[in-house]
Amino acid sequence: AISAAPFDGTPQNPARSGDHGERGRAATCQGISLAERMPGRDTGTWMHGPMRLTTFDTMRRSTMQRIREEFRACCDGSGHEARVSAALLAKHLHGLAEVGQKEAGLGVMALKDKQVVALRVCQLMQDMDLRNNGRVGLEEWTHYMLLEEARIPSLKVSLQINKLLKAALRQYPRLLEDLQRMFWAADVSSEGSLSLSDVTDMYRRRLWHFSPKNPRGLLSEADFAARRPEDLAREVMDAMDLDGSTYLSYAEFMAYCLGRRKQPVTLHFYDLTNGAASAISPWLLGQKLDGLWHTGVEVFGKEYYFGGDIFFDTPAATAFGEPLKRTSLGFTLWRQEELHNYIVDELRPMFNRDVYDVVFNNCNHFADKICVWLTGRHIPEEVVHQPESLMQLRVARVMRPLLNRWLGNLESNSERAGEARKDGSAAPTPGPTNCRPAAKPPLMPGALVSIKIFMVEEKTFGITV
């Protein structure tokens, strides 16, 4: 059986490629059925069944050769008319699974094993069939396999690319074929990735016209004459690169060509104690804390944060002042209107005044949700769990209701992302370009306006309100 996963030189288990732990070894043991050892859709690299031990012959094949050979093993017809249907794919997977069963000494496939194969076929066809006609050509097959090769699941690149591509193919049926032809022209190694020299050669031969810094997005003949191919290649690689590697993947190339542009994501840290935490934490906790953290997420030129309501404001100019430190979390390909849709549909029911809790549902939990959706990366774990560790202190438990009232009822003159309309249009309900300021209620007697920590008799701490 030929797998689309590239061989990295490490011997692989017969049951699964890419899994060298206990689960991979257990798959070859007696009594483990196919249904129990088949990897999940997002947890394994086995795309088309068990993989035999890699031979020297398969090591010499390029990624593209192996992908095309596997397509020919599944399809009917020849040339441009070759297609893979659900029935053909099921037959191919079923045959590979039976071989795996026999090699593992498990006998014939049980009913639930056949059901697993059928489910996998449905999943694959749903992901590969971009034109929704029930049959997949070589272009769609290769597209799916190379997106899997890219392995950037944190950004959900495949989801974004396929959503755009499906819409574009209805208007431009040859778009996928044309974009792949541009990529294959540069991919001289047929490995599904491009080096700097590959891209430089495209500009030297004037086959690529991408220009991220050109207002038109494309190079003219005068631009080619005025600039070095090496500089043009570095510029476009920097614009397309998402994971900081020295190679461009097929997924990065397709995302750029379909109009996605990476946006930096930065996490801002604010110390709610204005420096007091670092001074008193060694005495209270036995360890030094740099701050009692509030966090906000900067993206699309705005800073998003939670304080009873969900706000976005001018970065580093919120009611919390200047951030004590900033941390880059990489890039996102999502757009601002998509982020607003996510906030409205998913986060607003989870983050509002009624459910704010300074320990279990605060600004840091909100920032973590936003960062995972944007980049696939969590904010530092110690920041998320810091309030829980502080609850061991009696003074922190006493202050909890006051902090809930203070931090869970923030008001500012910032725009409120939680009120963004999905279509972004101007309407009575404010959209991202038409937001009303959040009203600031008058102070009531007994309202918490600030917290000051002071020392009494050298070791006892209290608060003044």
Residue 164 confidence (pLDDT): 93
> What strands lie across the sheet with 263-271, from one edge to the other?
310-313, 302-306, 293-299, 263-271, 325-332
Residue 158 confidence (pLDDT): 87
Residue 23 confidence (pLDDT): 35
Residue 9 confidence (pLDDT): 36
Task: Convert the pLDDT of each residue in 246-256 to its tens digit.
Answer: 899 999 999 99
Residue 464 confidence (pLDDT): 38
Residue 88 confidence (pLDDT): 93
Residue 353 confidence (pLDDT): 81
Query: What is the rounded CA–CA span in Å between residue 312 and residue 211?
Result: 32
CB proximity list for 255: less than 8 A, separation 6 or greater: 157, 160, 161, 240, 242, 333
Tokens for 435?
């937001």
Query: What is the rounded CA–CA span in Å between residue 388 and residue 358?
Result: 9
Query: What is the rounded CA–CA span in Å between residue 435 and residue 312?
Result: 10
Residue 25 confidence (pLDDT): 34
Token pair 């031990």 is found at 53
Residue 77 confidence (pLDDT): 87
Buried b (16+ CB within 10 A) or exposed e, 55-81: eeebeebebbebbbebbeebbeeeeee
Query: What is the rounded CA–CA span in Å between residue 62 and residue 192?
Result: 9
Q: Are 407 and 337 in contact (CB under 8 A)?
A: no
> Which is nearest to 139 in space by CA: 84, 198, 191?
84
Residue 37 confidence (pLDDT): 45
Whether this prediction's pTM lies above 0.75 is answered by no
User: Which stretches of the chain score pLDDT less than 50?
Assistant: 1-59, 283, 412-421, 424-441, 443, 446-454, 456-465
Query: What is the rounded CA–CA span in Å between residue 293 and residue 272?
Result: 6
Q: What is the CA angle 431-434-439, rounded to 5?
A: 95
